[in-house]
Amino acid sequence: MDLMTMVLKMSEGLGKTCAIFFLTLLFSLPLGMIVALLRRSKNKIVSNVTRFFISVLRGTPLMLQLIAVTYGPYYLFGLTVSRNKLIPVVIAFAINYAAYFAEIYRSGIDSMPVGQYEAAEVLGYSKVQTFMKIILPQVIRRILPSMTNEIVTLVKDTSMAFTVSYQEMFTIGKQIANSQTSFMPFIVAGVFYYVFNAIVGFAMGKVEDKMNYYEM
């Protein structure tokens, strides 16, 4: 198999790689915020249960979580494993990344000076208004560098979907490598991820520049 065919074949999986990436972000970014708010809840039971879930999701391999979500329903309840593996893959990714994002959000929210809340309170802002208009925009600005870090990791982590044989780019590359006994597909995959992350890095840099119009 020549290099061009290899690249073309692997490109077919790129759509699925992107699907994991964007769907994970779509669900984990808001879910992470909910988890962060639960984690900060004044109710000790709520915050401790949330803390426990975060520690499990961060403390066990994503690979294991992928297998658990994909095949767990079969082993536990005898349900057939769905042919479309995108659903369990995205569920596993979204939950895992929500846990990481939640901790980033939490650190950002905790770093806000109390004076911002007090100024808003005296001016009569409601709790929701204070959070949405005053706190959140500043938190986003503060956590952007850590978010970029996490998102870059997500790009590379999509390759983990090979463990459940989801036909994304890396899975296809691995299959070609096996059948052709060639190392070439791994190099191609490396280039793909590098370019993908270069784009992500550039985009996040632009977002950071856009938000840097003020100093904290």
Partner 1 sequence: MSILSMQNIEKSFDNIEVLKDISFSVEEGEVVSIIGPSGSGKSTLLRCATFLETIDSGLIAYNDEPVTTMVDGKCVYAKDLNNFRKRFGLVFQNFNLFPHYSVLKNMMDAPVSVLGRDKAEVEEECMALLKKMGLEDRADAYPCQLSGGQQQRVSIVRALAMKPEILFFDEPTSALDPELTGEVLKVIKELADENMTMVIVTHEMAFARAVSDRVIFMADGVIVEQGAPEDVFGDTQNERTKQFLANYNR
CB closer to partner 1, 78 vs 115: 115
Nearest approach, Cβ of residue 214 and partner 1 (Å) = 4
CB closer to partner 1, 130 vs 159: 130
Nearest approach, Cβ of residue 37 and partner 1 (Å) = 21
Query: Cα dihedral sign for 49, 51, 54, 56?
Result: negative
Nearest approach, Cβ of residue 131 and partner 1 (Å) = 13
Nearest approach, Cβ of residue 134 and partner 1 (Å) = 6
Interhelix angle 86-110/62-77, rounded to 10 degrees, is 130
Per the CB < 8 A criterion, the answer to whether 86 and 16 are in contact is: yes
Most distant CA pair in the chain, distance: 70
- Smallest CA-to-CA distance from 170 within 16, 2, 1, 3 is with 16
Cα 168 to its chain centre, rounded Å, is 17
Which residues, other chains included, contact 187 with Cβ-Cβ below 8 Å and sequence gap of 6+? none
Interface with partner 1 by CB under 8 A: which residues?
A: 113, 115-116, 118-125, 129, 133-134, 137-138, 141, 213-216
